[in-house]
Chain A
Amino acid sequence: MPVFKTPFNGYSVKFSPFYESRLAVATAQNFGILGNGRVHVIDLSPSSPVINELIAFDTADGVYDVAWSESHDSVLVAAIADGSIKIYDTALPPHSNPLRSLKEHAREVHGLDYNPTRRDSFLSASWDDSVKLWTLDRPGSLRTFREHAYCVYSASWNPKHADVFASASGDCTVRIWDVREPGSTMIIPGHEHEILSCDWNKYDDCLIASASVDKSIKIWDVRNYRVPVSVLNGHGYAVRKIKFSPHRRNLIVSCSYDMTVCLWDFMVEDALVGRYDHHTEFAVGVDLSVLVDGLMASTGWDELVYVWQQGMDPRA
């Protein structure tokens, strides 16, 4: 299974929605505490377990997240620790990049999500307690959603409802928003501790999952949000990122500070269906390919990016 070594500590990995074997990796020097950053665009080669780097972009400050455009196959967006968002085009030479630098957030931008339905807009979640809505062509944000009382760690578009999204925050709530409304439309006080990640189910538009510092992942139905549908326990430390499978209705993948990547089926009694402990430091980024069923990737502070097929051993 292919492995890619990054010079800096990994923070996020995302599959391209256009190319089956292409990924973008966000990395930050010195664990993201203080230092430069780099965005890698890597290609899996079809025959050998080798990963090639297509292009890389250096940034002055650490890169915490990256997101591929759904409208342009070569464009991606990077969330920078200095509060800016940079737009890159991999089809242009490095000296013409970045296309844009959008500086509005007052603090680190921690999460990005591109709208898969409308394809023209994306969200940024920042430690300045706000979420902003952007398009590629405008120099400024379209909307700012400011209600959270603490850092917003991630934002996620609903895959069926183009105007609805959710945000996960350190104020221990998940908020559901509609861009047509001025404020949040629902508040889910999901955990007693900070919520680091949230994601919508790709097949049931009313199901949303939240991952928290309390080591658990909870699945909620927004129609009855006081009681979770399911609680997934098993991680030894905070759960950093979760993602519902684009191919299987009940499958969700998570990565945690306990250095493992876990696969869960939340409709089953014994929910944990897979565990991968290939990382030797915090596992902070995980993604599932939309184009290839079962293909998954993860990255961590051990400066490695693994890409493997579900069921296989990532280190093989």
Chain B
Amino acid sequence: MATTQPPAPPNSTEDKPQTTPEVVQQANEVQQDGRPEAAKPIVPASVFVNSEPIREDQVSNAVKFLSHPKVRGSPVIYRRSFLERKGLTKEEIDEAFRRVPDPPPSSQPASLNQDGQVKPSSSVQTQATMQTPPPVAAAPTGIVSAGTLAQRQFHWYHAVFAVGVLAASGAGTAVLIKNAIIPRLKSWIRKVVLEEENENAKKSDAKPSLAEEAAAAAKAAAAAAADVARASQEMLSSKNEERRRFEEFMNLIDVQVQEMKSMSNAIRKLEGQADSSGRTFVDHEDHRVSASSTKQSYANGRVDADVRSVRSASPPASAEPPHPKSYMEIMAMVQRGEKPSNIREINDMPPNPNQQPSNPRIAPRTKGATTNLFTK
């Protein structure tokens, strides 16, 4: 649709039309000799071709229109139609399309796949090499990357992947805590206790009081416990964060599922409409409205509403013309799926596909019956 070749270069300027009738008359005279195919008028098509130069202001307006993100989601034919209705010529529209890089829809999932692959690998990397970076950080990065994935374009394998990432990060966190943090904690406690013992051994004379020892040990234990509590709280908060993000994620999934359901409903309805024997044209306004509403639910973006709203603004200046009552009855019947009873089964196919037309009784007038007159 968008690939139209430029029309044949007009080989004349605007004052050609005055010579046109002469050329045509010549051609007609040639036809009179009974050789209609002999000489075609050389020029006249030039009158029916745009010879305006490209208007830069129109083109820049068109570029702005085409660059709008909502417009980019709409089918090309509607964008072209909108610009045509605004008075742009074919050349101006083609120029605008040239200037706006139009990423074909197939490239979007491709780039998404690339992103999808890069991010999870980085999160896996961070998990593997993580020693000191707190485990909390790995999980959010995994979730954030999964979140951005979900925002752009949603695929099921992204969901599975993201869930897997979450599980892995949770498991990794748990494992790390078990393996790394707790032994360190234990060793640290042991160290503290040992230090205390040494200290106590050193100052066995200085402070032999058991109470003091106990107090010191208790303090150390309390500090350790506090540390453990803090660590566990951190873990808990990170878990909460994880869970929250997971829920957000699930909500996104739900939204996508809802959208898919509504789309499939619309498709089913559309199929139903196509199959049903009725024709949804009432007046031309209605036809347009019903057709455009199905096309809206069909399309990828909501742009159709905007683009078509130019046209489906309330019908011109007046209400719909009053339809005959029985027309409304029949429309209602058809929309309910009932068939009017007066329809017969008719076979209107050609009985003999090779039947030749009968010989004409009147010879066609040399210039054609209709154009006979127009040389007056």
Contact = CB atoms under 8 A, between A and B. Distances in A.
Interface of A: 17-18, 29-36, 57-60, 70-75, 80-81, 86-87, 89, 91-92, 95-101, 108, 116-119, 136, 146-147, 149-151, 158-164, 170-173, 176, 178, 180-187, 189, 192-194, 196, 202-203, 205-206, 213-215, 222-223, 226, 236-238, 246-247, 257-258, 281-282, 290-291, 301
A34 B278 contact: yes
Contacts of B47: 205-206, 222-223
B272 interface: no
A285 B35 CA distance: 36
Contacts of B80: 149
B36 A171 contact: no
Contacts of B283: 213, 238, 257
B331 A215 contact: no
A46 to B, nearest CB: 18
Contacts of B24: 160-161, 205
Interface residues of B, number: 81
Contact of B339 (A34, A164, A206): A34
B343 A223 contact: no
A161 B45 contact: yes
A89 B48 CA distance: 35
Contact of B321 (A183, A205, A282): A282
A194 B285 CA distance: 8
Given A74-B357, A164-B45, A184 B90 contact: yes
Contact of B348 (A71, A86, A108, A136): A86
A75 B357 contact: yes
Contacts of A291: 369
Given A108-B279, A149-B80, A160-B374, A226 B87 contact: yes
A237 to B, nearest CB: 4
Given A34-B278, A35-B342, A192-B316, A100 B350 contact: yes
A267 to B, nearest CB: 17
Contact of B279 (A73, A81, A189): A81
B360 interface: yes
A181 B77 contact: no
A162 B361 CA distance: 25
B336 interface: no
Which one of A136, A149, A238 has the highest number of Cβ atoms from chain B below 10 Å of its Cβ? A149
Interface of B: 1, 4-5, 7-8, 14, 17, 20-21, 24, 36, 40-41, 44-45, 47-50, 77-78, 80-81, 84-87, 89-90, 277-279, 281, 283-285, 287-288, 291, 311, 315-318, 321, 324, 326-327, 330-331, 334, 339-340, 342-353, 355-358, 360-362, 364, 367-371, 373-374, 376
Nearest to A193: B316
A183 B48 contact: no
A32 B279 contact: yes
Contacts of B324: 31, 281, 301
Contacts of A118: 36, 368
A246 B49 contact: no
Contacts of B331: 33
Nearest to A280: B324
B77 A35 contact: no
Contact of A161 (B4, B41, B288, B351): B41
